[in-house]
Amino acid sequence: MNSSFRQRRLTAAAVTALAVAVSATACSSGSGSGDTKSVGNGTYTIWDPYPQFAKSSDWAKLLDQCGAKAGVKIKRTAFDTSDLSSKALLAAQQGNSPDVLIVDNPVVSTLAEAGVLTTTDENKLDTSKVDANLLAAGQSGGKTYGTPIGANTLALYYNKAVLKKAGVDIASVKDWKSLTAALAKVKAAGKKGITFSAIGTEEGSFQFLPWFWGAGAKLTALDSSQAVSALSLWKDWLKNGYAPNSVLNNTQTTSWQEFATGDYAFSENGTWQLANAKKAGFEYGVLPIPGATGGNASAPTGGEFVTVPVQKDTGRYTTSQKLETCLTSGDNLYNTDTTLSYVAPTSEVQDKQVAANAELKPWVDAVKAAKGRTSDDLGTRYPKISEQMWKAVQSALSGSKSPTDALSEAQSAAK
């Protein structure tokens, strides 16, 4: 892929789509210089979204180790997630991309469609061991752009004491009907049912998707009967007092804070809360989110992809591939994903994680059933669809529109 091809692909539509996509991502503190022009052939640049990891961290040491193994020095720059995405696009426009880019998975297809990234065929990266459902988040137009470094997703945390008081056997919760019945028992016992985030941002869509997909709905048909049943489920929970009205403004953090009070039976949240769960002061368990009629619902995947951006000097790809392979090798994946509280993207490393920590088993199950938000070749269409989805959720839960009308309006706007 030469530079002239890259410049043709960096269209205004792609720039706009990326701006929408990154505006929905979570932010964290961090800084770094994106200048790569001064880097010589013996130094390779890596950009990542982990500003929380200092130069002395295991992550930074791993980057240096992979560089040494490839015979080069590493210049690492860490950005917060939203800054990284916009910086990557700007660098591509200037012909100044890093050699390796680790980026949030929903942005991969947008960068790919903008001509920023090479394919795994071009950079000779082997992704054969990666779980297909996780790899799909980095695919667009039948091509694959990079490989996941790890994944997180959503499941249901539950408070064992609250369920015991309400006479609920967690083994009985297998579908929406049995979950709703459990919530009714919890309310009757004087406790609170379930808390989640339905805020009018990407977080709200992220949390609604397991129920949406668990009903059998598709993002290309927001107004389907399956989609209406999912939104009606949430609406009925609020109407019956099984979920608090605060979900309309809850982020995933404030939703967790509600669960941490010990009053709620369930909380929809992610692997990133595991450390907080251990500090909560009560016994908890984790259950994959059930589908409407049983089985595990597909929850959206979080986590990053390791990618190789387009370079003017295509001879650099060989070393970039070595770096990418080193970062995603079995032993390194295990150590990195443990640090990031991620589930590994390969069955081999997942088994190793569960052997070391049995509490990860329900998370591995959830990740195996998970799905990328941009899968199904949605690419740059996803941000617009997601925005209409969270607006529909807000309208229905606030009572301004029925679930049917809210989703019908969303589908018209998303076309």
Task: Report the alpha-carbon distance of residue 387 to residue 24 in Å, rounded.
Answer: 9
Indicate the pLDDT class of residue 331, thresholds 50, 70 and 90: confident
Per-residue pLDDT of 299-312, as tens digits, reads 999 999 999 999 99
| Of 199 and 31, the one with more pLDDT | 199
Q: Does residue 14 register a pLDDT over 90?
A: no
| Cβ proximity of 196 and 265 under 8 Å | no
Q: Is the CA virtual torsion 256, 260, 261, 263 positive or negative?
A: positive
Indicate the pLDDT class of residue 81, thresholds 50, 70 and 90: confident
Other beta carbons within 10 angstroms of residue 90's beta carbon come to 13
Per-residue pLDDT of 168-179, as tens digits, reads 999 999 999 999
Q: Provide the pLDDT for residue 336.
A: 86
Q: Token match 């949406």: residue? A: 212
Domain-wise residue ranges, the chain: 3-151+302-368, 154-299+378-414
- How far is the CA of 248 from the CAs of 199, 200, 211, 231, in angstroms? 5, 8, 16, 13
Mean pLDDT, the chain, as a whole number? Answer: 90
Characterize the bridge pairing of strands 264-270 and 192-195.
parallel
Per-residue pLDDT of 359-384, as tens digits, reads 999 999 999 999 999 988 888 899 99
What is the layout of strands, in order, in the sheet containing 100-104?
73-78, 43-48, 100-104, 304-307, 147-148
Q: Is there a common fold for 3-151+302-368 and 154-299+378-414?
A: yes
Which residues share a beta bridge with 117?
309
| Cβ proximity of 206 and 106 under 8 Å | no
pTM: 0.84
Residues in the chain, overall count: 415
Q: Say which CATH superfamily domain 3-151+302-368 falls into.
A: Periplasmic binding protein-like II (3.40.190.10)
The beta strands (E) that lie in 20-142 are given as: 43-48, 73-78, 100-104, 139-140
- How far is the CA of 130 from the CAs of 56, 328, 344, in angstroms? 29, 10, 9
The architecture CATH gives domain 154-299+378-414: 3-Layer(aba) Sandwich (3.40)
Other beta carbons within 10 angstroms of residue 236's beta carbon come to 13
By CB atoms closer than 10 A (0-12, 13-18, 19+), residue 132 is exposed
H/E stretch holding 68: helix 58-70
Task: Report the alpha-carbon distance of residue 400 to residue 389 in Å, rounded.
Answer: 15
Indicate the pLDDT class of residue 341, thresholds 50, 70 and 90: confident
Indicate the pLDDT class of residue 279, thresholds 50, 70 and 90: very high
